[in-house]
Amino acid sequence: MSSTENTPQRFPFLSEAEVPAGGEGWESMYPYYLVPSEETKEHEEKLLWFADTMHWSRGAHPFDSIGAEAVYYGVGTFSTRIFALPVSLGMDVRVVNGYVYIAPQGITDPARIQERAEVFQKRAGYYYANWDELYGQWKTKMEQAIVTMDSITFTPLGAYDPDSVVDEATGRSVSMDILENYHRLIDEFFAVWQYHFEFLNLGYGGYITFFQFCKQAFPLIADQSISRMVAGVDVLAFRPDDELRKLAQLAVELDLVQTLRDGGAGTEGALKAKALRTELESTENGRTWLAAFDAARDPWFNYFTEYGFTHDQETWNTDLSIPLGSISRYADKIAAGEDISRPIERLREERDEIVGEYRALLTTEEAQQFDALLNLARTVFPYIEEHNIYVEHWSHNVFWKKTRELAELLVEAGLLEQADDFYYLNRFEVDMALTDVVQSWAIGVDIRGKQRWRAEIERRKPIVAALQSASAPPAYGIPPEQITDPFAVMNYGVTTERIQEWLGADQDEKGLAGIPGSLGVVEGPVRVLRSEKDLPLLQPGEILVAPITAPSWAAAFSVASGVITDIGGMMCHAAIVCREYGIPAVVGTGYATARLTTGQRVRIDGKTGSVVYLDGGPDTETGRADLVDAADAPAQG
C-alpha cells in the first residue's frame, strides 16, 4: 500500500486482504453475501471494517458463519427497523479470511435523523417505561425458546416410514420432519438473536446517558469509576463462578481437596473426571459432594469456555476438567487460609459509598439528574450483565447440541465420514445435502452427492486450518474522522484514538495501547492462549493474553496476574469480570495475540491502557510477576 502525506491514513481495503498461505479459495465456503464482492466493492470501500474477534476469536468454520448472520441480522432489525436509532443503521458484516468483520453505518441527513428520532422516542420510550415487566417477559420467552429448541429431534430414517404415518393417516413421510426440524432449528436460533437485541441497544442507551452525564459533571472521571457505580454485585453473570467457589468450600469441609487435586484437573480431563467420579462415589463425603456438584451442573455448567459462537467450543459440562480444575484451585486457596467468597454486602456498601461521594460533589440540580440517570442505568444494567447466560451460553449450548445430533444422522445416513465434517458446510449446503439424503432415501437410490460433499469437505479442511493459524488484522478500510457509534465504542472499544493507534502500531516497537479495562499495574511474563482448553498451561503470576476472555475464564483470574485482550471495550465481559476480581486488564489492543509471544515480559497498566515490552523477546524463565503498584489495585472482591 502506498501512501503519501496527503492521503489520509487507512487500513487495506477488504479486496487487498492478504490470504494466508493455504487459505486460498476460502470465499467459496460462506454464503455469498458474507463475502466481499465486486458488486459491493464500492460500498465496502466507504466503510471501516473492524474484526469482531470478540465473538469469533478464530477463523470460522463454514457452518459457524450462521452466528455472524444471526447476530447482525438481529442488530440490523432493531437498530434500523424496530427502534430506529436516530443516527445509526445496523452493522454490515463480512467474512474475510474466515474472520468476521463488521462496519457501523451512520446516518447524517438531519431530516432523516429527526424522523427516526421521533420513531425512536415513541418505541424505545415504551420499553424504558415498562422495562422490568418486559424484561421479565423476555426471560420467560428465552426459557421457552431454549425448551423449544431442545425438543427438536432428528430421528434416523429406517427401512420404512413408521406405522403411525398409516395409522394416523398423516399422508406425509416423517422424512419431511428432518428438513422441517432443521429449518425450525435455524429459525429458533435466529429468533434468539432477535431477542438478544430486543433489549441490548436500549440497555446500552440507558447506560450511555448516565455515562455522558458523568463525563460532563466530572470531565476527568475514569470510565471504570462510572461502571462501578452502576454494576450489580449479585447478578447472574457471576453465578457459575460462585457455584465453583461453593463447591470448593464444600470440598474443603468434606476433606476432599487432595482427592480433587489428584483427580480433577489435567489435560486428559474427560478420562480423569470419570475416574474421579468413581473414586468419589466410594465414600460418604464423596457422594455428598457429587450430589452438590451434579445439582450445580444444570444449568450453571452449560457454560461455554468463550462465547459459544463456534461449534467446537467446550462447555464446562462437556469438559468437566475445566470446572474441576477451577474448583481444585479455589479449594487450594481456601486450604491456604484465603477467603475467596465474594462479600456481596461489603461490595454493595462500597458501591453505595462511592455513589454517595460523587453525588455530594454535585449541585442540587445536577444531583436530581444524577439520581434519575443512575436509576435508569441500574434498571437496564442487569440485562447487559445477564443476557449472555441466556443467549450465548444456554441457547447456544442447545443449538450446537442439536447440530451435532443432525451431524450424527448424516454420518449414519452415509453422507459424512464423521460428525465434525458437518461444520465444513455452510447452512445452505447442509440444507441441500440434507435434501439430497432425504429424497434419495425416499426414491430408494444412493445419495447422489456423497462423493461431491466428501471431496469438498476434504478440500476445505486445510483451508480452514490455514485461516485459523493466522491472526486477524484489527481493521480494514478508511477510518471515519470520528467514531460516533456509541455501541462500537462501548462494546467493542473501537474509538477514534484506538483506530489511530492501530494505524500506528506497525511502527511501535515499545508496546501496545489498549483500553483501560481494570485498574492496576503489573509486570510479568505473558501466556498467549487462544482457547480455554489451554488454560491449564497458565502458570501462577503470568499475564494472560487472549483474543477475548469470556466470563467463564474467571477461575483463571485467580492464577493470572493480569489480562490483555485483542478486542473489547470497558463494558466487555473481560473488563467487567477483571474489575470484579481486582485483576489489572488492558483490552482492545488489536494485536496482542499476534505480537506477543509466551514468556515475553511486559508491564501492563490498567489505568492508562498500556502494554510495555520489557524485553525484546520471549523469556525462558517464567517467574512470578511482581505486583508493581499494589496501591493502584482495587480491593479484591
Interface residues with other proteins (CB under 8 A) are 85-88, 106-108, 110, 113, 117, 120-121, 124-125, 128, 201, 204-206, 208-209, 211-213, 216-222, 225, 354, 357-358, 360-361, 363, 365-366, 368-370, 372-373, 376, 482, 484-486, 519, 607, 631-632, 634
Backbone angles phi, psi at 491, to 5 degrees: -90, -40
Is the CB of 23 or the CB of 486 nearer to other proteins?
Answer: 486
Is the CB of 29 or the CB of 380 nearer to other proteins?
Answer: 380
Q: 88 - beta bridge partners?
A: 106
How many helices (H) and strands (E) in the chain? Answer: 21, 13
Tell me the closest approach of the beta carbon of residue 366 to other proteins, in angstroms: 4
Tell me the closest approach of the beta carbon of residue 208 to other proteins, in angstroms: 5
Is the CB of 190 or the CB of 218 nearer to other proteins?
Answer: 218
Q: Measure the N-to-C terminal CA separation of the chain; round to a whole number of Å.
A: 48
Tell me the closest approach of the beta carbon of residue 213 to other proteins, in angstroms: 4
Is the CB of 132 or the CB of 357 nearer to other proteins?
Answer: 357
Distance CA 132, CA 555 (A): 31
Distance CA 552, CA 400 (A): 18
Distance CA 335, CA 345 (A): 24
User: Could you tell me where the DSSP H helices lie in 395-545?
Assistant: 396-412, 427-443, 450-469, 486-492, 496-504
Are the C-beta atoms of residues 555 and 200 closer than 8 Å to each other? Answer: no
Q: From 346, 340, 131, 354, select the one nearest 234 (Cα to Cα).
A: 346
Tell me the closest approach of the beta carbon of residue 484 to other proteins, in angstroms: 4
Is the CB of 129 or the CB of 443 nearer to other proteins?
Answer: 129
Distance CA 568, CA 354 (A): 25
Is the CB of 481 or the CB of 506 nearer to other proteins?
Answer: 481
Is the CB of 12 or the CB of 125 nearer to other proteins?
Answer: 125
Distance CA 370, CA 364 (A): 10
Is the CB of 372 or the CB of 465 nearer to other proteins?
Answer: 372
Is the CB of 20 or the CB of 584 nearer to other proteins?
Answer: 584
Q: 102 - beta bridge partners?
A: 50, 93
Tell me the closest approach of the beta carbon of residue 636 to other proteins, in angstroms: 15
Tell me the closest approach of the beta carbon of residue 474 to other proteins, in angstroms: 21
Tell me the closest approach of the beta carbon of residue 609 to other proteins, in angstroms: 12
Tell me the closest approach of the beta carbon of residue 376 to other proteins, in angstroms: 7
Distance CA 132, CA 383 (A): 10
Is the CB of 86 or the CB of 599 nearer to other proteins?
Answer: 86
Tell me the closest approach of the beta carbon of residue 486 to other proteins, in angstroms: 5
Tell me the closest approach of the beta carbon of residue 128 to other proteins, in angstroms: 7
Distance CA 192, CA 238 (A): 22
CB atoms within 10 A of CB 326: 27
Is the CB of 551 or the CB of 609 nearer to other proteins?
Answer: 609
Distance CA 584, CA 564 (A): 9
C-alpha cell at 170: 398423516
Tell me the closest approach of the beta carbon of residue 528 to other proteins, in angstroms: 30
Is the CB of 354 or the CB of 455 nearer to other proteins?
Answer: 354
Sheet arrangement for strand 88-96? 88-96, 99-106, 48-51, 475-477
Tell me the closest approach of the beta carbon of residue 632 to other proteins, in angstroms: 6
Are the C-beta atoms of residues 23 and 466 closer than 8 Å to each other? Answer: yes
Distance CA 258, CA 264 (A): 10
Distance CA 419, CA 421 (A): 5
Are the C-beta atoms of residues 55 and 63 closer than 8 Å to each other? Answer: no
Listed in sequence order, the residues at least 6 apart from 400 whose beta carbon sits closer than 8 Å to its beta carbon are 308, 311, 313
Q: 416 - beta bridge partners?
A: none
Question: 147: number of CA atoms within 13 Å, CB side?
Answer: 6
Is the CB of 227 or the CB of 440 nearer to other proteins?
Answer: 227
Tell me the closest approach of the beta carbon of residue 487 to other proteins, in angstroms: 8
Residues in the chain: 637
Render the burial of 465-477: b for 16+ CB within 10 Å, e for the rest: ebbbebbbbbbbb
